Amino acid sequence: MKYLVIFVFSMVIQTSFAQSPLTGIWDTGNENTQVEVIEEKGKVIGKILSSDYSKAVVGSLVLKDLKRSKDSWTGQIYSAKRGKWYDVQIVPHSRLLELEISVGIFSKSVEWRKIR
């Protein structure tokens, strides 16, 4: 019984400290833009790490309100080009993020590749 309690406790601790599959540095494929996704104060967010795009501000928030739902994440993504927030659904794979961005009845799919 003692070993069972220790095993269950260790599994709970490992789960609580596991990193999100979204965390890391991602290449967006546009204008040499790199986004760092981190877990900060219990929330997963994304900030611009670097970019050649003149409207992109390094350090600014581009992913927010991310919530996990089974195998994907939903939240908001910022478009520096339009200056607006849009709904996004993110499906993580080992070194790839599939983003489905919704703009009203239209949607756009993009892929981000993991740098590290």
- The single-letter code of the amino acid at 10 is S
Give CATH for domain 21-114.
2.40.128.20
Each residue's pLDDT tens digit, 36-50: 999 988 899 999 999
Average pLDDT, the chain: 86
Q: What is the pTM of this model?
A: 0.81
CA dist 58 and 74 (Å) reads 23
Q: Delimit the domains of the chain by residue range.
A: 21-114
Residues sharing a CB contact under 8 Å with residue 69, sequence separation 6 or more, in sequence order: none
User: What pLDDT is attached to residue 7?
Assistant: 41
